[in-house]
Chains A and B, each alone.
Chain A
Amino acid sequence: MSGLLFGGVYSLMAVGLTLIFGVMRVVNFAHGDMMVWGMYLAFVLATRAGVDPYLAFAACAAALFVLGFAVQRALVDRILDAPHEMQILLMLGVALVLENVALVVFGPEPTRVRSALSTATIWLGPVFLDVARLVTFGVAIVLSWALYVFLFRTDLGRTMRAAADNPYGARVIGTDVRRVYAVAFGVGAACVGAAGALVAPIVPFQPPTGLSLSVTSFNIVIIGGMGSLLGAFVGGLLVSVAESLGAVFLTPSLKELASFSLLILILLFRPAGLFGRRAS
């Protein structure tokens, strides 16, 4: 059950990644490291200003939006037409910088943010639930839904999907594609900013956590289908459940094996993912 609840966060991470990929065809290797920055921002807000992480997530999302916007404008924008390899290397560079700046600033010790809700639990019939996990799940689902509404019901969202479908056509009808790209990157980063703040009270984190979070997001997005929002959402829940089942039936340290094996199978037999429309 807690596996499914954690899945909300996985979904939010993956939705952010798939948005960036879907619009720009760039894989954000710094995704997990951006998430760790969301966690540390929540940590700083909680310890310095006493803001509960469940309220701070909006501020974290805003801050990460700015970071994502800036990364797109300053770096990614220059290599949109470069080979995939160069884009991957550039994003690896960004990931290294983000992770290690966090290491220099915050130190290597695992950190955890306290929330008023951390210790509360409720009983639901025979199972008991962490209130913190429940709130995290709820907020993550609401945010994913909000993103969906943004993309499909607002003008900016529609423009974004148009630019994703056909950048040239979008430019012809007068869209500022560069701005749309920067906003898309910003929104994708904001997703992990919020996700980071939401999990900060649940799991301890340290700067190297970012790497495994990135890898997990890739798993989910590949499993769900690159560029598919629904796929990312369902994939998040699926991977989270697979990992918690793996932790129950194997040993906890082997739980990642479950998702990596799933990943390899999907890569080989259905590279477009479960919900992807076209194979690459």
Chain B
Amino acid sequence: MKWLGALAVLALLALPAVLNSYGVTIFILIFFYAFLGQAWNVVGGYAGQLSVGHAAFVGVGGYTAAMLSIEKGLTPWLGMFVGGALAALLGAVIGYLGFRFGLRGFYFVLLTVAFAEICRIAVSNIDALGGALGLYITFTGDPRQFQFQDNRVYYYIALGLMLAATGIVALLERRRFGIYLTAIREDEGACEALGVDTLKYKLLAMILSSFLTGIGGTFYAFYLFSLQPGTMFGIPLSVEIILRPIVGGAGTLLGPLLGSFILTPLAELSRLYFGQSGLHGLHLVAYGLLLIGVVLFLPQGAYPYLRRLIAGTRA
């Protein structure tokens, strides 16, 4: 398994040499959504706290780094950590309120949605943040400002993000922390009875998850060169974030990656294909059908299914 992973990483490192620029773009998006999915996976997958408001953290991270860069000239290489920290702070507030008051299932979902929507509406109405029109980052091509002439630089950054997040989660899985999270997902009452401070661990999971997502927001902002409240904070982005880990297998290490490698090319190609023929919503119809299919037929996601399949052929 180990050498297989190393081989895959080597292949991905070498890949831009043979890809055209559209291919590079698709892979950037695959890595980026896998990264966001992995970040969500910490709290949504392992700890089983279904957040449908993760776009809030993307938005906070992206807007913070962009504002610092535009107004103060601070390099986004540092700004991303400020953004991540602010996102983590928001995550801590949402998590504390939600967990402290014991909101579960649908109630927690609504709390996260409500916070993301409040952020979106607030940012749309603050003129200093560009209001409803959003912010635009002028392209200078200056690497110190996180801007690159060559698309392949974004490719390697996105790949690095994805691998780093996966490394962190792999580390978690082996530590007590990760095991606590899984245990909380499976039976929170039993954890508490055994003396696990569930509030603390759920909160830590939320903070780590929102910090990573905030860093992702910086990448997103400086990859797109523009930030709109709807795209950075909207519910559709939150749904995009959770879709991949769930399709791939929530609460598994490789689930978000697998989900992104399945869904992102599908989404991009169908967006391109149907968009050209003027049928804009069709790729999202396919998305919805896929989601329904996964819930009905593969409720644990594609990765556990694949693993059983492989184990079956070996045995």
- Specify the chain A residue showing the minimal Cβ separation from B297: A78
Q: Which residues in B have their C-beta under 8 angstroms from that of A104? A: 279-282, 285
Does B101 touch A at the CB level, under 8 Å? Answer: yes
Does B50 touch A at the CB level, under 8 Å? Answer: yes
- Specify the chain B residue showing the minimal Cβ separation from A27: B106
Mostly, the A contact residues are helix
Does A90 touch B at the CB level, under 8 Å? Answer: yes
Taken together as a complex, chains A and B put the C-alpha atoms of A260 and B291 apart, in Å, by 28
Q: Which residues in A have their C-beta under 8 angstroms from that of B287? A: 93, 96, 100
Report if A251-B125 is in contact (Cβ < 8 Å); known contacts: A85-B48, A86-B295, A271-B101: yes
A90 contacts B125, CB within 8 Å?
A: no
Does A95 touch B at the CB level, under 8 Å? Answer: yes
Report if A93-B279 is in contact (Cβ < 8 Å); known contacts: A211-B235, A215-B113, A260-B117: no
The total of interchain contacts (Cβ-Cβ below 8 angstroms) comes to 124
Q: Which residues in B have their C-beta under 8 angstroms from that of A269? A: 101
Q: Which residues in A have their C-beta under 8 angstroms from that of B280? A: 103-104, 108
Does B190 touch A at the CB level, under 8 Å? Answer: no
Partner of B291 from the list A96, A98, A268 (CB cut-off 8 Å) is: A96
Report if A100-B111 is in contact (Cβ < 8 Å); known contacts: A93-B292, A253-B121, A257-B121: no
A256 contacts B121, CB within 8 Å?
A: yes
A89 contacts B107, CB within 8 Å?
A: no
CB distance from A251 to the nearest CB of B (A): 7
Please indicate which of the listed interface residues B52, B114, B290, B296 has the most CB atoms of chain A within 10 Å of its own CB.
Answer: B114
Does A119 touch B at the CB level, under 8 Å? Answer: no
Q: Which residues in A have their C-beta under 8 angstroms from that of B110? A: 218, 222, 263, 267
0/1 per residue, B6-35, Cβ < 8 Å to A? 000000000000000000000000000000
Does B269 touch A at the CB level, under 8 Å? Answer: no
Please indicate which of the listed interface residues B101, B109, B236 has the most CB atoms of chain A within 10 Å of its own CB.
Answer: B109
B residues 256-315 in Cβ contact with A at 8 Å: 279-282, 284-285, 287-292, 294-296, 299
Q: Which residues in A have their C-beta under 8 angstroms from that of B101? A: 267-269, 271
Q: Chain A interface residue count: which class?
A: 35 or more
B124 contacts A253, CB within 8 Å?
A: yes
Taken together as a complex, chains A and B put the C-alpha atoms of A85 and B299 apart, in Å, by 10
Does A254 touch B at the CB level, under 8 Å? Answer: yes
Taken together as a complex, chains A and B put the C-alpha atoms of A96 and B52 apart, in Å, by 15
A89 contacts B279, CB within 8 Å?
A: no
Taken together as a complex, chains A and B put the C-alpha atoms of A6 and B103 apart, in Å, by 30
Report if A264-B296 is in contact (Cβ < 8 Å); known contacts: A96-B288, A254-B121: no
CB distance from A241 to the nearest CB of B (A): 19
Q: Which residues in A have their C-beta under 8 angstroms from that of B133? A: none
Partner of B295 from the list A79, A97, A256 (CB cut-off 8 Å) is: A79
Taken together as a complex, chains A and B put the C-alpha atoms of A147 and B295 apart, in Å, by 32
A residues 40-93 in Cβ contact with B at 8 Å: 75, 78-79, 82, 84-86, 88-90, 92-93
Does B97 touch A at the CB level, under 8 Å? Answer: yes
Partner of B285 from the list A96, A257, A263 (CB cut-off 8 Å) is: A96
Partner of B118 from the list A79, A222, A260 (CB cut-off 8 Å) is: A260
Taken together as a complex, chains A and B put the C-alpha atoms of A102 and B290 apart, in Å, by 18
A271 contacts B109, CB within 8 Å?
A: no
- Specify the chain A residue showing the minimal Cβ separation from B120: A256
- Specify the chain B residue showing the minimal Cβ separation from A30: B288
B residues 95-154 in Cβ contact with A at 8 Å: 97, 101, 103-107, 109-111, 113-115, 117-118, 121-122, 124-125, 132
Q: Which residues in A have their C-beta under 8 angstroms from that of B132? A: 253
A99 contacts B291, CB within 8 Å?
A: no
A267 contacts B118, CB within 8 Å?
A: no
Taken together as a complex, chains A and B put the C-alpha atoms of A160 and B265 apart, in Å, by 45
A97 contacts B299, CB within 8 Å?
A: no
Partner of B281 from the list A90, A101, A219 (CB cut-off 8 Å) is: A101
Please indicate which of the listed interface residues B107, B280, B287, B288 has the most CB atoms of chain A within 10 Å of its own CB.
Answer: B288
Q: Which residues in B have their C-beta under 8 angstroms from that of A98? A: 288
Taken together as a complex, chains A and B put the C-alpha atoms of A218 and B114 apart, in Å, by 10
- Specify the chain B residue showing the minimal Cβ separation from A263: B114
Residues on A close to B: CB < 8 A? 27, 75, 78-79, 82, 84-86, 88-90, 92-104, 108, 207, 211, 215, 218-219, 222, 251, 253-254, 256-257, 260-261, 263-264, 267-269, 271, 280
